[in-house]
Amino acid sequence: MKYGELTHEIIACSMKVHGVLGNGFQEVIYQRALAIELQRSGLRYKQEMVMDIYYEGIKLGTRRVDFFVEEIIMLELKALIRMEDVHLAQAMNYCQAYNLPVGLLINFGAKRLEFKRVYNLNHLDNKNYKKD
């Protein structure tokens, strides 16, 4: 996987945050703590970055991405007891709308950290992945 090492490092930062704080806080608390860990790890990121969303070349509006790491990976954070398919679909849609190859959906709200890597199968970097 082309971005495996980078996503692994982001997940490790998230695990440290969850290990220290546990579950039960609002998303903004995890977001602030994760910013500290990403900075400590030396990863470049933008927080609450506004990105344009397009439909067939026409701008529809904007959406704030929780984190944009190393100018390639979108991070969507949640603080839910349980993630559902709609949250995964949302993260996948953001990857496609932003034309990013990969993103991470991270949930701090469960007893154990939950994370999902999401891929934009329409991105050139993922042309070798099989579409289901």
Query: Is the predicted pLDDT of residue 52 greater than 70, yes or no?
Result: yes
Alpha carbon distance 83, 18 (integer Å): 16
CATH 1.10.443.10: does it fit domain 4-123? no
pLDDT tens-digit profile of 12-45?
999 999 999 999 999 999 999 999 999 999 999 9
Q: What is the pLDDT of residue 129?
A: 65
**Residue ranges per domain, the chain?**
4-123
* pLDDT, tens digit (0-9, with 9 covering 90-100), for 88-112: 988 888 888 888 889 999 999 999 9
